[in-house]
Amino acid sequence: MMLYKFIFVLLIAHLASAFDFEAWSENNFQGTSSTYYQRGTFVPGFIIKSYRWYSASGDGCCVKMCYGSNDVGYWCPSHSNGLPSSDFDKIVIGCDDEQLIC
């Protein structure tokens, strides 16, 4: 019964989110993964080697990809990449006028 409640809560949280970012530790969406549904700065504990960013059209939300304090990429519209040109270890998610700083 607890598992059903947990799945239900995750589903509701996902539906309420305007965006989500999925990160994988290996190319082509393989390996360890983490998913983020909130604004903020996140360090998954592994080098991100593939990702999927979903942001509803016109929601004003963006993601910045960082390697340490270095900016290595930025997306506002939805985007995915199984073989990014740069590895990264941190993401910063924000909406509207929020500054995204590595």
Q: What is the pLDDT of residue 58?
A: 86
Residue in 99, 97, 75 with CA at minimum distance from that of residue 88: 75
- CATH topology classification for 2-95: Gamma-B Crystallin; domain 1 (2.60.20)
Write the pLDDT tens digit of every residue in 38-71.
999 999 999 999 999 999 988 999 999 999 999 9
What's the mean pLDDT in 84-91?
96
Write the pLDDT tens digit of every residue in 14-46.
444 589 999 999 999 999 999 999 999 999 999
What is the distance between the alpha carbons of residues 47 and 34, in angstroms, rounded to a whole number? 11
pTM, full prediction: 0.79
Q: Where are the alpha helices (DSSP H) in 1-102?
A: 2-16
What is the distance between the alpha carbons of residues 33 and 58, in angstroms, rounded to a whole number? 27
Q: What is the pLDDT of residue 1?
A: 58
Strands 90-95 and 40-42: antiparallel
pLDDT for 12 beyond 60: no
